[in-house]
Amino acid sequence: MNSESKKPVGKNSSPKKDNPDSKNDNKETFEWKNASKTSFVWIFILVSAVFLSNLFSNPNGDEVEVQYSQYKSFLNKGLITKAQVIDEVFHGELAQTQTIVNRRGASVDLKRFRLKLPFIDRDVMQEWDKNGVDYSFKQQTVDWTGYFLNLLPWVLILGFWIFLMRRMQGGNGGMKSIFNFGKSKAKIWTSDMPKVTFDDVAGCVEAKEELGEVVEFLKKPKQYQKLGAKIPRGVLLVGPPGTGKTLLARAVAGEANVAFFSLSGADFVEMFVGVGASRVRDLFEQGKKNQPCIIFIDELDAVGRQRGAGLGGGHDEREQTLNALLVEMDGFESNEDIILMAATNRPDVLDAALLRPGRFDRQIVVDVPDLKGRLGILEVHTKKIVMNKKKVNLESIAQGTPGMVGADLENIVNEAALLAARRKKKSVDMSDFEEAKDKVMMGVQRSSVVLSDEEKRITAYHEGGHTLVAAKTKGADPVHKVTIIPRGRALGVTMQLPIDEKHGYSREYINGRLAILMGGRAAEELIFNEMTTGAGNDIEQATSIARKMVCEWGMSDVVGPMTFGKKNEEVFLGREIQSQRDYSEDMAKTIDDEVVKIVRKAQATAKRILKKDISKLHGLADALLEKETIDGDDVQSIVYGSKASPSKNGTTKKKSTKKTVAKK
């Protein structure tokens, strides 16, 4: 159970499922089998090619070269039945197999032989006629079959090499992909394709206003150029994943009605040296041929990380690609109508040369949307589904999804549509959205997990402890929903949702947050006089928050307003991988003591609240055992008034009983 009281599933409560590791092992075994089969086929083809080449490259391979004396002996004895003369070379066939001694002194059986005659005249031919030789003459011709069969093994080897190169290049393009390593992989959207405009983007008003200037330049470049103004050549979109950075870039191209080149930073980097730099140059060449245009590079940090941090002096393929990108950005002419846009969620690891004026000199933050932004995003995405507008309150959904980005909200809308389709509804209503929201925020409901009565009772009191402490803590976020139905990786969840958007947190709020986290553990100790593993995630989060209070936020009276643990500036393994120890052993002990003090104080606060209102804790646990899920109104009724009302999310007592029976 985490801050939202997620309780990890124990060994005894986990469903009996196939081991996923075994599935992966089977998959890997299957892939190895396929790979071994493919390798065997290619080895067989190569061996066959060599055999055929040796077999057919010399159609007279069973002929034995003899001396002139042996030829005369065969002729005088009348053993030669057939002969073919090709450019003074006599190819004879004997009536029966003869044994001779070759030049090396070894005995050889032969039926066909050859030798080069010194001359052929009428006397020689009369001698053949006399001894009954059926002879003919033939001109020497080029044996193209032999040449082909000799080349066949090398052709197969070349084909095998091309096959490997295709696999390394993504498997597309055949010979074209082999000889186009250095060509850009950018996807091109032209003006005649379906457009994305600013109307399709919601939740980032400031970013759209900043990008409106770029649109105006692409539409009316002379208006700026005649005044000597220089439009920013590089625009860097910075923000968390899923906030719509890529969509914004496409919207700029759609508004300006210009060509749009899009690719990822990872598309530049290949296993072959120099390929990335070549692709950068080719990308900008394509941009110059299609100006005005926008070149968009997604995940810029994949190729734009700080230089000089690699092994062996840092001169690797990625850095060569970055150098080429820097050179191309400097090579812009003032009259070129090309805008370079890029997106990243890691601006801290980018090379400083990328961020200087003249390159990515304008940074636009695309942040997590506020309430108004989330409402706008929901309105955009709900246009694509059949929705019962009378029964769906989008504002309520927006209020209940704080901290979510555009991708999360799109996922909720899609999940709601899938639920409605599964239930064979004609339109999506509010119940579908509520269930989809719970699924995304709390995890998928795992009805297959059957909890024992004792486990359900412990989970109910654990979640009740979180809930009661949250209800009695001043300034805490209100409890939205509490459930003991296993969801995701948790056996129970206590969900809190803030009333207003928060951008900064007070010390009082954080201390209250710590007390809420420790509420589940305190309830277990208070009721059962026992500790379980269910509070593991809560303790982990509480410890992390307490350490940040001491080391980052300066919220310790003993340590004071200081920061400790400077992030390592080496980016070869990533800046966040390790921290620099910039404090003494004595200070480390002081920090540890303060963290322990803060966490224990939070647990003591939670225990005090629970002891004071122990009856309310029993009431919450009983309601959870009875209904399995209660909402915020139920919590308010139990803590400050009468018993819990019927569940408003469709989970009635009767329905809960059916679920319990089904589990068992």
Residue 515, token pair as written in the block: 């007390």
Q: Within 10 A of 233 (CB to CB), how many other CB atoms are there?
A: 19
Residue 75, token pair as written in the block: 């002729």
Cβ atoms 350, 301 nearer than 8 A: yes
SS3 651: coil
Residue type for position 79: L
DSSP readout, 489-543? TBS-EEEE--SS--SS--HHHHHHHHHHHTHHHHHHHHHHS---GGGHHHHHHHH
Burial class of residue 125, CB neighbours in 10 A (0-12, 13-18, 19+): middle
Cα separation, 23 vs 399, in Å, equals 41
The single residue of 210, 463, 524, 594 carrying the catalytic annotation is: 463
CB under 8 Å to 244, separation ≥6 — which residues? Answer: 201, 203, 204, 366, 405, 406, 407
State the sign of the Cα–Cα–Cα–Cα dihedral 652, 655, 661, 664. negative
Taking each helix axis from N to C terminus, what angle separates 507-517 and 453-472, rounded to the nearest 10 degrees?
A: 160
463 is annotated as an active-site residue = yes
Cβ atoms 182, 275 nearer than 8 A: yes
Q: Please give the angle made by the CA atoms of 367, 438 and 3, to the nearest 5 degrees.
A: 70
Cβ atoms 602, 3 nearer than 8 A: no
Residue type for position 349: V
Give the residues across from 259 on adjacent strands. Answer: 293
- E runs forming strands in 610-651: 629-631
Cα separation, 554 vs 560, in Å, equals 6
Instruction: Choose among 215, 268, 233, 185: nearest CA to 340.
Output: 233
Residue type for position 543: T
Cα separation, 66 vs 103, in Å, equals 9
Instruction: Choose among 393, 449, 385: nearest CA to 419.
Output: 385
Contacts 24+ apart (CB under 8 A), 124-127: 127/75
Burial class of residue 530, CB neighbours in 10 A (0-12, 13-18, 19+): exposed
Cβ atoms 472, 609 nearer than 8 A: yes
Kindly provide the b/e burial profile for residues 382-414, where b requires at least 16 CB atoms within 10 angstroms of the residue's own CB: beeeebeeeebebeebbbbbbebbbebbbbbbe
Taking each helix axis from N to C terminus, what angle separates 536-551 and 519-528, rounded to the nearest 10 degrees?
A: 130
Active centre residues (catalytic): 463
